[in-house]
Amino acid sequence: MYRSRFGQLTALLISSGLSLSLWAHGTTATVAPPAALTAASALAEGVTELTFRELYQMPVGPRGLVPSPKLLALDGKQVRVTGFMVAEDEPLAGRLILAPIPTQLLGEDEPESDDLPPNVIYVNFPSGIQAHSMRGQIRLNGILHLGAVPQPDGRLAAVRLELSPQLVPYLPAVPATPTHSSH
């Protein structure tokens, strides 16, 4: 009975755009993603749909996560991925993390642990932009890149998406912090 109720609660949280870590630790301000990032549309020519389930071979074996043949074949090619933007306490300018489920990184509460699922995609865009946390699923296009690349926060990004320049204007940007000058 406990598992059934927990499964129902989990399904409710995921379908409502919340995450278990948000529920357990509090909430952060998020915005609704613009229609350009959520609308179902036909794939443009030369763009391949990639799902999170297609990133790694399943089941996970003794050597851990192994990239799927589809993921390896799409390195350097245009893809479209649908997922949830990871809510971060301190998001980095020029990068967001896309996950298969709603997730929040809580850096100060549990510094030795990581709330990220293993199959995330790091999405890069011009570094002058800091994207505001968006609730609900978003659909992003860009060029897929593979290979472990260190991130400014110390994580290794094995799967990265260079966001299509056409989508960059639709990222809701965090407002700049006003500076006060003293006279």
Which residue ranges make up each domain of the chain? Answer: 2-170
Q: Which two tokens stand for residue 148?
A: 């472990």
What count of other Cβ atoms lies within 10 Å of the Cβ of residue 116? 15
In tens, the pLDDT along 2-16 reads 444 434 433 433 343
User: pLDDT tens digit string along 142-161?
Assistant: 999 999 999 888 888 999 99
Q: Residues 6 or more apart from 8 whose CB is under 8 A from it?
A: none
Task: State how far the Cα of 68 lies from the Cα of 119, in Å rounded to an integer.
Answer: 12
54 neighbors 70 (Cβ within 8 angstroms): yes
What architecture (CATH level 2) is domain 2-170?
Beta Barrel (2.40)
DSSP state of 172: P
- Residues 122, 60: Cα–Cα separation, whole Å: 21
pLDDT of residue 179 exceeding 60, the answer is no
pTM: 0.78
